[in-house]
Amino acid sequence: MAEAHQAVAFQFTVTREGIDLRLSHQAFTEIYLSGVRSWKKRIIGLKNSVVTGVYPASPSSWLFVVIAILATMYTRSDPSMGLIAKIQENLPVSQSMSNQCQTLVSALLFSTMLWLLLIFTMRMCLKQLLSYHRWMFEKHGKMSTTTKVWVALVRIFSGRKPLLYSYQGSLPNLPVPAIKDTVKRHLESVRPLMDDTEFERMTQLASEFESRLGNRLQWYLKLKALWATNYVSDWWEEYVYLRGRSPIMVNSNYYGMDFMYVTPTPIQAARAGNSLHAHFLYRRKLNKEELRPTRIPGTVIPLCSAQCERLFNSTRIPGEETDTVQHWQDSDYIAVYHSGRYFRLRMYQAGRLLSPREIETQIQRILDDPSAPSTGEAKLGALTAGDRIPWAEARTKYFSSGVNKRSLDCIEKAAFFVSLDDEEQGVVADDPASLDAYAKSLLHGKCYDRWFDKSFTVIFYKNGKMGVNGEHSWADAPVLSHLWQQTLSTDCFQLGYNAEGHCKGEVDSTLPPPQKLSWEIPPECEEQISQSLAVAQALADDVDIHVFAYQEFGKGRIKKCRVSPDAFIQMVLQLAYYRDQRRFCLTYEASLTRLFKEGRTETVRSCSNESSAFVRALENGEPAHVCRRLLQEASEKHQNLYRLAMTGSGIDRHLFCLYVVSKYLGVESPFLKEVLSEPWRLSTSQSPMHVEMFDIVNHPEYVSCGGGFGPVVDDGYGVSYSFMGDHILNFHISCKHSCPETDSHKFGDQIRTALQDLLQLLNPIRTECHRAEGGRPDVKKHL
């Protein structure tokens, strides 16, 4: 194979005349350039480590301190109050060094220590400032004097040009809430779900827990909080994600969609060329820490960026008891799947990133490759879609040595995974079901044409549409969402295409072709692949997904009604679910805790006493002014719950960690056991949209469909929603066909009706709400 020979730097043959040695200049060049690239990355990493390590100061500030100290000493003043002289007395130097030189060295040492002390002081001050969260609970538009001073101080101590990880050392640790506060909030959250007898029993369990076992478990948890960076995140990753033995496809992985109305090019290879190039441009910025730190929108408050570290070059490794997340420092290639074959595609040539046109050429070579899959290769990916224990056993037995290990390593160590699909997907005019099929394809595909263990898989369809499937254990959706939307923006607004729809740029004719991976799959392994595929296919067939874009009004009109858009949608979901099921249920809304170091998520329990009171009043035909007041109270309650969750005072992560401690100690808690077994029949999440990356005013058609996830429980709904600018709402609803009580399309109709009902209820508050939004730009649909 030609690609194999290119990987060998020299070959030799023993002949009668002696040894015939043949050197490969190209191979040596590649090795040299690879080494140069690796050392450049190390040097950049070292430089960034220094810059981040001294933040919020800068390395150049050391010189300023030194000059200031020396200048003060020149005026015959002693800014050290005798410390420089003490350093000079104890300085282990040679007798040949002059007294003046010893004084200079002592001054440099004192200046350095003073500089480090100033850095430590500034960092502690910034950490204390970032621990202040009262600003979040103030009414919108009414900022207190304390908060104004706080904002000014944060700006001062934040420096001018922070790198991606500059704030990591200044973020506060996640606090451990008081037992009594968590128990009180939990009882309040379950009250609308229980009758008097059930609630009295739960109150008794909670009281016994709080007065007896709770304090003991809390002591261990506080001890962990003092020792660990974050008392939740490592246990959350291990016990919620990695120890799960059921398939991660549908149950854990999630997806993101392409533009809704626009397909930049109908050429599959060209779309892949621009997109893959954009992914590696993003990775270059990530490695250099040139990405701006994520902040709460509209504020100067930074969020933790630790999850970005495992975005690329990462994979989930199956284990019999628990999986692990493996991350490699670098990878210069991607793994590609097409028509049952796996390929290794190098993204660098002669030390440079391939141009979009060159990547398009390489992808086209894969699409045109007529070779057939090896025995057992075509559906190999089903192992990652089925149960985890059979996959772990098969990996140990059949992929731990030889050609199978080399090929599997190639996939797992790739920057990310790419799937080239032979079908077409996307929005089809006059076919509402097209979005549903698109979502199902991204969520599970054919159950064997994705590598669900990779940190993310990018899917390119035959008609130029694309999408992404993300593995959930290594990070939460906002991290991958930022990459995805940046890629979409770079693809269309920076790279672009020529008139024929191909990528721009020239092609190096010496590019080696992509390398097809080899496999030796025995019949026993093929049998396991078939079994995993059967499990995955049954799961995929059971998924019922409905996706729709609601264009009657959007975030802008909701804001005019003086209601939080997120709270508005959550009340819509509560009303829709009650109408669908004639009962309330425990509702999960994901909230970020990235205000704290290594923070991930917390649960907002959206079904509250206030929300249920509003829904009952509306359904019972109470007067509009009563319903309006109850809606305002429910919305304010929801916002308060969201703020508590963001600031470390949530319910579920604290109870989860207490439960883990109880298991380590070998003690049983009826209260915790019941709390952790409560089903989330309505699981919701707002998909983050980075609208600043797109010009929605001039190009309103360039809006994404957002993304979604599978149902959390067999008899529940999963709902993901997003605000596309000010005029469009997107909903992704999932449930299971096997449950006769759930139907994604029926629930979607209930959401549409509830949206109109709530807006109509709020209309009298402001006359602007009566007006149709004539300013909403027309959207040109290029399907």
Residues annotated catalytic, as ranges:
472
Q: Name, in order, each residue with C-beta under 8 angstroms of 196's C-beta and a sequence gap of 6 or more.
A: none
| Per-residue b or e along 95-104, where b marks 16 or more CB atoms closer than 10 Å to that residue's CB | eeeeeeebbb
- Distance, CA of 357 to CA of 460 (rounded, Å): 16
- CA dihedral of residues 496, 500, 506, 512 (deg, nearest 10): 110
Closest residue by Cα to residue 685 from 653, 722, 651, 649: 722
Kindly report the backbone phi and psi dihedral angles of residue 386, in degrees, each rounded to the nearest multiple of 5, phi listed first.
-90, -160
Identity of the residue numbered 381: G
- Token pair for 213: 């076992």
- Token pair for 479: 């991290």
What are the distances in angstroms from CA 335 to CA 234, 365, 416, 420, 715?
29, 14, 7, 11, 37
- Distance, CA of 543 to CA of 173 (rounded, Å): 39
Closest residue by Cα to residue 462 from 418, 417, 419, 421: 421
- Distance, CA of 309 to CA of 306 (rounded, Å): 6
Nearest 5°: the CA angle 67, 70, 74 is 130
Instruction: Give the position of tokens 């809390």.
Output: 218
Residue 635 is given by DSSP the state: H
- Token pair for 193: 């779900």
- Token pair for 765: 């508050």
Q: Going by DSSP bridges, is the β-strand pair 417-420/456-460 parallel, antiparallel, or unpaired?
A: parallel
Kindly report the backbone phi and psi dihedral angles of residue 547, in degrees, each rounded to the nearest multiple of 5, phi listed first.
-125, 135
What are the distances in angstroms from CA 620 to CA 256, 614, 626, 735?
39, 10, 11, 28
Other CB atoms within a 10 A radius of the CB of residue 288 amount to 15
Sheet holding 682-686, edge to edge: 543-550, 728-736, 717-724, 682-686, 587-592, 601-605
